[in-house]
């Protein structure tokens, strides 16, 4: 193959293509990711390869006029260019795969060693002549010439060996397109070596453009409304910084009452104002990046000079003291709450950071809107405890260690225990006993309650079946159901299925629900309740008197039992007015023909008085605390 005969048209076309790619790069927001930088390295490497190839062809054509030293430089340039392109590409491929950070660091170290080794070989070549010599304007290649190429190929193969573990952004479709590109490059290389067409570099460039479009497209990591990076990219960015133990200052800038702005000026103006805020934050002079964190929240991550944090926070705060302008020039005053979390001091990983940001923002919105607050000044123990409890619930669910205890309910009419309330219990190795009052709301918040609720119901049904409850005085078990469970479509269907699976009849279960102001989809809740009541399950209203005590609620919903909350019971024994209210409440419920359970009965006096004023059932420590299934059965047998 005589290089001086090569048709340079493809090389020039490739060079023009790459120049366009560099222009795109320069025009878009700079993406601060390692993959993006590595890919830029690949493009620079390919540009060098093309340039050297063009120079080589000219040198070949005018061989007799070219100085030997220039020939040496071009040959070294070629080796270095190929090495650069290949090693950056190998690194890029490695970054696309889910390799642990440590592996990656070793790989980068190897790349550095390989590069230094090749450069040393080149420096020594004039003395050792291991790589090549130029004699009579001819290049005589020696054995060492293949070393840089062997190193490049070896690094590429190592990188490709992990290709099975591609990161989540790379879908199968994208993968196929990349493979196709790779095949085209191989074909082009064969065509070039055999002298059929010198289109290898051109094919490399079309490959680069494809990668740019599919994998390095800035729009994939940008939020189009604000022109800042999106939240998914923020997760990647911050997670990486935690992985490599880099400290950072995370600013959460949350607009206050932005809904009002949207309502007053319309969504388009609202979007434009958000765009302006994003641009303003991006224009601040500090080393870092800006992300859109939530619909009306931004997150700025400062990664150097953390001592500047208070200054920057003040600057942002000050900016919101002045108006912003709509496209029509109308002045709009906006307020923003600023929370600062220093990492790793305040948060040690991404999950903790998000929890702290949520918590600090909720706190700021409640107490001091439009101000600057520091996570370090807040009591973060609550957040950490919440996280630990959430973990404990998940663990107990996975290990099937969730327990259910039973607290007997005494029937005054029958003078015997006639039912019981199932109360979930959780004991963690580290945290010890955790109260359901603490973990149930967390299970609701973190989407665990539906599964947890099903587990509890199954345990109750198994208890009813295994201990032959129908042969005892216990007519039914009260099961607490969270409103979140009721908002789940298909809840009633699942309850029926579980009951049938354990041969439990609907009259053996009572469902306890509490009155809540925040029912999401009322129609789903109503449908579930109607289905369950039609099936024969009775409904109890729990904690009556502790919340809104909306009489309408009682009138609308098909309750059979009303459970008076222990707080109103206890209050009635301390305070005359509360005593009168309780008496009248009980009278009213009796008139409505509802059965009444008094909760929190702790003394005989309480029991006697509550029975006198019309409560039908008693539940409380006077009788028993909630106990395990075995102990419960013993208690029932003893009392019979």
- Binding to ligand C2E by residue 618, rule CB under 6 A? no
User: ∠ CA 577-581-584 to the nearest 5 degrees?
Assistant: 140
Measured from the CB of residue 272, what is the shortest distance to ligand C2E in angstroms?
45
**Minimum Å distance from CB 543 to Mg ion?**
4
CA distances from 427 to 72, 457, 554 (A): 75, 19, 35
**Residues 6+ positions from 30 with CB-CB distance below 8 Å:** none
Partner that binds at residue 295, options ligand C2E, Mg ion, none, CB closer than 5 to 8 Å by kind: none
423 binds ligand C2E (CB under 6 A): yes
CB of 489 to Mg ion, least distance (A): 24
**What three-state secondary structure class fits 628?**
coil
Let me know: does 607 contact 590? Beta carbons within 8 Å: no
Part in contact with Mg ion (CB under 5 A); list of ranges 235-243, 377-385, 406-414, 541-549: 541-549
Of residues 89-108, which lie at the interface with ligand C2E (CB under 6 A)?
Answer: none
**Residue 480 touching Mg ion (CB under 5 A):** yes
Binding mask 38-77 for ligand C2E (x = CB under 6 A): ----------------------------------------
Q: Which residues, including other chains, have CB under 8 Å from residue 266's CB and lie 6 or more apart?
A: none
**In the complex, minimum distance from the CB of residue 510 to ligand C2E, in angstroms, rounded to a whole number:** 12
Query: What DSSP string describes 503-548?
Result: T--GGGEEEEEE--S--S-HHHHHHHHHHHHHHT-EEEEEEETSS-
Burial class of residue 276 in the structure, from the number of CB atoms within 10 Å of its CB (0-12 exposed, 13-18 middle, 19+ buried)? middle
| Residue 423 near which of Mg ion, ligand C2E, none (CB within 5-8 Å, type-dependent) | ligand C2E
The answer to whether 131 and 125 have CB atoms below 8 angstroms apart is: yes
Residue 540 interacting with ligand C2E (CB under 6 A): no
Q: Cα–Cα distance between 338 and 345 in angstroms, integer? A: 18
Count residues binding ligand C2E (CB under 6 A).
24
476, 509 contact by CB (below 8 A): yes
Query: Closest separation between CB of residue 619 and Mg ion, Å?
Result: 8
**Shortest spacing between CB 397 and Mg ion, in angstroms:** 21
DSSP 393-437: HHHHHHTT--EEEEEEEEETTTTEEEEEEEEEEEEETTTEEE-HH
* Contact call for residues 34 and 85 (beta carbons, < 8 A): no
Residues in contact with 131: Cβ distance below 8 Å, sequence separation at least 6, in sequence order? 79, 121, 122, 125, 141, 142, 144, 145, 147
Would you count residue 515 as binding Mg ion (CB under 5 A)?
A: no
In whole angstroms, give the CA distance from residue 231 to residue 222. 9
Q: In this chain, which of 208, 620, 629, 633 binds ligand C2E, going by CB under 6 A?
A: 620
What is the C-alpha separation between 457 and 436, in angstroms, rounded? 15
Token pair, residue 613, equals 């004023």
Nearer Cβ to Mg ion (251/439): 439
Cis link prior to 104 (omega < 30° from 0)? no
Residue from 352, 542, 559, 595 touching Mg ion (CB under 5 A): that is: 542
600 binds, among ligand C2E, Mg ion, none (CB under 5 to 8 A by kind): ligand C2E
CB of 568 to Mg ion, least distance (A): 11
Which residue lies nearer to ligand C2E by CB, 87 or 423?
423
Among 328, 381, 430, 437, binds ligand C2E (CB under 6 A): 437
Tell me, residue by residue from 470 to 489, as one string, x for binding to ligand C2E by CB under 6 A and - for no binding: ----------xxx-------
Report the alpha-carbon distance of residue 8 to residue 202 in Å, rounded: 10
Q: Which stretch binds Mg ion (CB under 5 A): 71-79, 398-406, 473-481, 496-504?
A: 473-481
Site for ligand C2E, residues 560 to 589, rule: CB under 6 A:
566
Identify the CA nearest to 320 among candidates 289, 363, 277: 277
Q: Which of residues 369-388 bind ligand C2E (CB under 6 A)?
A: none
Q: Which of 165, 621, 634, 637 binds ligand C2E (CB under 6 A)?
A: 621
8 Å CB contact between 417 and 629: no
- Burial of 570 per CB tally in 10 Å (0-12, 13-18, 19+): middle
By CB under 5 A, residue 543 contacts Mg ion:
yes
- The footprint of Mg ion on residues 341-360 (CB under 5 A) is none
For ligand C2E, the binding residues in 236-275 under the rule CB under 6 A are none
Q: Which does 572 bind (CB under 5 to 8 A by kind): Mg ion, ligand C2E, none?
A: none
Q: Interface residues with ligand C2E (CB under 6 A)?
A: 407, 422-424, 435-437, 440, 456, 480-482, 512, 542-543, 566, 599-602, 619-621, 626
Q: Using CB under 5 A as the criterion, which residues of the chain lie in contact with Mg ion when the complex forms?
A: 480, 512, 542-543
């Amino acid at each position: 193959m005589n290089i001086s005969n090569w048709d340079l048209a493809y090389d020039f076309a490739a060079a023009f293509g790459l120049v366009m790619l560099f222009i795109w790069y320069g025009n878009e927001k700079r993406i601060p990711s390692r993959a993006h930088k590595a890919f830029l390295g690949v493009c620079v490497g390919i540009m060098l390869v093309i340039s050297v190839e063009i120079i080589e062809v000219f040198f070949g054509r005018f061989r007799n006029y070219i100085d030997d030293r220039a020939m040496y430089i071009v040959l070294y340039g070629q080796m270095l260019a190929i090495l650069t392109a290949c090693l950056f590409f190998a690194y890029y491929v490695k970054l696309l795969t889910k390799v642990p950070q440590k592996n990656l660091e070793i790989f980068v170290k190897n790349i550095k060693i390989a590069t230094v080794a090749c450069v040393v070989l080149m420096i020594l070549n004039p003395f050792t002549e291991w790589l090549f010599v130029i004699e009579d304007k001819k290049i005589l290649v020696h054995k060492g010439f293949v070393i840089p190429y062997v190193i490049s190929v070896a690094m590429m193969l190592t990188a490709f060996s992990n290709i099975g573990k591609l990161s989540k952004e790379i879908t199968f479709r994208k993968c196929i397109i990349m493979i196709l590109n790779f095949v085209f490059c191989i074909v082009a290389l064969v065509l070039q070596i055999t002298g059929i067409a010198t289109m290898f570099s051109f094919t490399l460039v079309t490959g680069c453009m494809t990668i740019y479009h599919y994998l390095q497209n800035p729009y994939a990591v940008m939020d189009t409304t604000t022109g800042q990076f999106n939240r998914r990219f923020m997760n990647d960015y911050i997670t990486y910084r935690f992985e490599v133990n880099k400290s950072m200052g995370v600013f959460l800038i949350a607009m206050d009452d932005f809904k009002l702005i949207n309502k007053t000026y319309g969504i388009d103006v609202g979007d434009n104002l958000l765009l302006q805020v994003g641009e303003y934050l991006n224009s601040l002079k500090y080393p870092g990046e800006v992300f859109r964190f939530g619909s009306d929240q931004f997150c700025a991550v400062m990664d150097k000079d953390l001592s500047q944090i208070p200054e920057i926070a003040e600057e942002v705060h000050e900016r919101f003291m002045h108006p912003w302008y709509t496209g029509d020039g109308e002045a709009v005053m906006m307020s923003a709450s600023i929370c600062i979390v220093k990492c790793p001091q305040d948060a040690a990983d991404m999950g903790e950071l998000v929890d702290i940001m949520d918590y600090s923002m909720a706190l700021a919105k409640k107490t001091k809107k439009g101000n600057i607050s520091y996570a370090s000044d807040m009591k973060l123990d609550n957040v950490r405890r919440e996280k630990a409890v959430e973990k404990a619930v998940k663990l107990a669910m996975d290990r099937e260690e969730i327990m259910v205890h039973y607290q007997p309910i005494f029937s005054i009419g029958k003078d015997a225990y006639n039912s019981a309330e199932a109360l979930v219990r959780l004991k963690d190795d580290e945290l010890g006993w955790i109260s359901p009052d603490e973990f149930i709301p967390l299970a609701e918040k973190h989407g665990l309650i539906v599964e947890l609720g099903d587990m509890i119901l199954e345990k109750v049904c198994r208890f009813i079946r295994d201990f032959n409850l129908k042969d005892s005085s216990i007519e039914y078990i009260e099961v607490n159901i969270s409103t979140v469970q009721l908002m789940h479509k298909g809840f009633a269907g699942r309850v029926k299925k579980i009951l049938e699976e354990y041969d439990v009849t609907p009259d053996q279960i009572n469902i306890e629900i509490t009155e809540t102001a925040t029912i999401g989809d009322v129609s789903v809740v109503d449908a579930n309740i109607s289905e369950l009541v039609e099936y024969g399950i009775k409904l109890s209203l729990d904690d009556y008197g502790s919340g809104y005590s909306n009489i309408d609620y009682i009138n609308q919903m098909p309750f059979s039992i009303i459970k008076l909350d222990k707080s109103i019971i206890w209050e009635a024994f301390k305070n005359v007015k509360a005593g009168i209210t309780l008496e009248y409440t009980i009278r009213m419920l009796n008139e409505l023909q509802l059965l009444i359970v008094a909760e929190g009965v702790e003394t005989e006096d309480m029991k006697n008085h509550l029975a006198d004023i019309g409560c039908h059932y008693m539940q409380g420590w006077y009788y028993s605390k909630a106990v395990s299934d075995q102990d419960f059965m013993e208690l029932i047998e003893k009392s019979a």
